[in-house]
């Protein structure tokens, strides 16, 4: 049944959308064996148009082939030829999709630029609007939600939605939701190559730029760490001249490079590790073993508590405090904002399961720093059996073996059971585990994430804590 044409067409459309219409990447995967889709296709106007053009290409090629056979053979041979061409092009419909995307590109580009230019024009009509730009290899969404929660105690805040951090998505937000009632616009900025963040800064002109960290995430796309550093610091270079910069003092690549990019902009540092550069120091930390969160003091802010498990959130909270103080919030407003911070879905999110089992959902966290934090959280549950489930990381390029071996090494002294999804990365996690004295029988492989989830109840026991780390989309499997 996997060879039914409509299934292949639907699946290849799905992969094209997952790759965000990136043709070089799509061309490497569209021919893969059909797999069950985890999510539905989002039938946007763009995807519908590409599908229609691709179908027309397929139809024209089939009719042309049939017509040529009709001229030299017979009507029967012509019909059979047309049907065969239609069938084969359905199985490899990705070829038609690539051609359709290329054909649509000029119009798509023009329409996107029209929307972006409208957003640029509109945002200029709000000179009093304060804009906060946030980027980094990790922690962007968590920072965005934290900052928004604190600032909303005093101001009307508009923030980018979910993971919509592209020029088109941000421009549409500005056009649809920015009005005279908005005091602060918080923009999460995503990037896969140099120039992406500059483009976003050209639209929004940040008054405050927050850089959460730099690591090997999307290294396959950036090509090198040097390129990643250049790309991420675009949020500093392309902010307004008198912008204030907030940097993560715990990230080595930021500390090693920030002085080259500041151009005399006022700079603040935050830290969850009491780095000497940070404005405040954190003290009196207390992790609650029931998973309800962490209590701590932050400078002259005492008796704080956040219902989030990762200690990195102490630094993120500090960044929010620094920004809030610069924007004139009172101490009481800041403390109330911190109190209201909620766990972010799929990012060290605690779920209390049946049979006294604690589930930590970290499935949206797919970078080395996030993995390290997750393992640190798992290690805190010393009185429980600790289970770790992962397919590893994606887009790690030539660092694939090194990074995953180190994950195994870190896990070897923390986890009691490690469940791995079979792919190109997890054998290196297994190697890191075994070479650091982990018990081989406690490493369990499954062919897919759905298979692992279906069998997890046969592995867990009452009182366990189980952490789900990262989730590979189908285009990486």
Spatial contact of 209 and 152, defined as CB atoms under 8 Å apart: no
The angle subtended at Cα 465 by Cα 464 and Cα 470, nearest 5°, is 140
Tokens of residue 418, six digits: 């490690």
Spatial contact of 133 and 244, defined as CB atoms under 8 Å apart: no
Sequence-ordered list of residues with C-beta below 8 angstroms from that of 89, at least 6 positions apart, any chain: 58, 61, 62, 95, 96
Task: Please give the pLDDT value at position 191.
Answer: 81
Task: Please give the pLDDT value at position 116.
Answer: 96
Q: Tell me the backbone φ, ψ of residue 355, rounded to 5 degrees.
A: 60, 35
| CATH 3.90.190.20 placement within the chain | 349-476
C-alpha to C-alpha distance for 170 and 180, rounded to whole angstroms: 18
Residue 397 burial (10 A CB sphere; 0-12, 13-18, 19+): middle
Q: Tell me the backbone φ, ψ of residue 462, rounded to 5 degrees.
A: -55, 135
Positive or negative torsion for Cα 7, 8, 13, 17: positive
Pairing of strands 266-270, 282-288: unpaired
C-alpha to C-alpha distance for 209 and 131, rounded to whole angstroms: 9
Task: Please give the pLDDT value at position 292.
Answer: 86
Give the chain's count of helices (H) and strands (E).
Answer: 18, 15
Task: Please give the pLDDT value at position 475.
Answer: 38
Tokens of residue 316, six digits: 């993120």
Residue 266 is inside which H or E element, if any? strand 266-270
Task: Please give the pLDDT value at position 34.
Answer: 56
Task: Please give the pLDDT value at position 355.
Answer: 83
Tokens of residue 180, six digits: 């005279």
Sequence-ordered list of residues with C-beta below 8 angstroms from that of 347, at least 6 positions apart, any chain: 141, 142, 361, 362, 364, 365
pLDDT beneath 50: ranges in the chain:
1-3, 473-477
Question: Residue 74: CA atoms inside 13 Å, Cβ hemisphere, count?
Answer: 2
C-alpha to C-alpha distance for 415 and 419, rounded to whole angstroms: 10
The whole-model pTM stands at: 0.83
Measured from the Cβ of residue 337, the count of other Cβ atoms closer than 10 Å reads 23
| CATH 3.40.1190.10 placement within the chain | 127-339
Q: Could you tell me which CATH number the domain at 127-339 has?
A: 3.40.1190.10
Give me the residue label for tokens 């060879």.
3
The SS3 call for residue 176 is: helix
Task: Please give the pLDDT value at position 477.
Answer: 41
Closest CA to 137 of 402, 378, 467, 395: 395
Please give the CATH topology (third level) of the domain spanning 349-476: 3.90.190
């Amino acid at each position: 049944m996997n060879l039914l044409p409509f299934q292949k067409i639907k699946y290849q459309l799905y992969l094209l959308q997952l790759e965000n219409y990136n043709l070089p990447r799509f061309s490497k995967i569209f021919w893969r064996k059909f797999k069950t889709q985890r999510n539905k296709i989002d039938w946007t106007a763009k995807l519908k148009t590409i599908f229609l053009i691709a179908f027309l290409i397929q139809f024209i090629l089939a009719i042309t082939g049939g017509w040529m056979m009709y001229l030299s053979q017979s009507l029967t041979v012509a019909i059979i030829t047309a049907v065969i061409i239609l069938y084969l092009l359905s199985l490899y419909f990705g070829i038609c999709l690539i051609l359709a995307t290329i054909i649509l590109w000029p119009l798509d580009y023009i329409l996107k630029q029209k929307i972006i230019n409208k957003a640029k024009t509109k945002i200029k009509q709000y000179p009093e609007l304060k804009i906060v730009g946030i980027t980094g290899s990790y922690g962007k969404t968590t920072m965005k939600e934290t900052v928004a929660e604190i600032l909303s105690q005093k101001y009307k805040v508009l923030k980018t939605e979910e993971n919509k951090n592209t020029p088109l998505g941000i421009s549409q937000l500005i056009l649809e939701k920015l009005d005279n009632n908005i005091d602060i616009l918080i923009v999460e900025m995503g990037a896969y190559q140099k120039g992406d963040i500059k483009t976003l800064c050209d639209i929004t002109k940040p008054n405050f730029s927050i850089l959460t960290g730099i690591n090997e995430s999307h290294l396959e796309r950036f090509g090198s760490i040097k390129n990643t550093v250049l790309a991420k610091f675009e949020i500093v270079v392309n902010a307004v001249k008198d912008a204030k910069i907030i940097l993560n003092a715990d990230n080595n690549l930021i500390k090693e490079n920030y002085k080259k990019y500041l151009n005399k902009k006022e700079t603040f540092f935050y830290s969850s590790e009491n780095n000497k550069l940070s404005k405040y120091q954190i003290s009196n930390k207390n992790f609650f073993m029931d998973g309800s969160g962490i209590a701590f003091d932050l400078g002259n802010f005492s008796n704080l508590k956040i219902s989030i498990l990762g200690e990195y959130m102490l630094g993120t909270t500090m960044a929010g405090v620094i920004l809030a103080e610069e924007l004139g919030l009172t101490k009481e407003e800041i403390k109330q904002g911190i109190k209201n911070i909620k766990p972010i879905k799929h990012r060290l999110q605690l779920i209390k399961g049946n049979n006294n089992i604690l589930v930590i959902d970290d499935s949206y966290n797919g970078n080395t720093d996030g993995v390290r934090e997750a393992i640190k959280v798992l290690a805190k549950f010393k009185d429980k059996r600790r289970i770790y489930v992962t397919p590893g990381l994606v887009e790690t390029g030539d660092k694939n073996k090194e990074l995953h071996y180190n994950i195994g090494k870190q896990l070897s002294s923390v986890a009691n059971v490690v469940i791995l999804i079979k792919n190109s990365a997890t054998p290196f996690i297994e190697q890191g585990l075994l070479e650091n004295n982990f018990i081989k029988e406690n490493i369990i492989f499954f062919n897919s994430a759905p298979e692992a989830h279906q069998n997890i109840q046969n592995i867990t026991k009452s009182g366990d804590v189980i952490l789900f780390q990262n989730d590979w989309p189908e285009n990486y499997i």
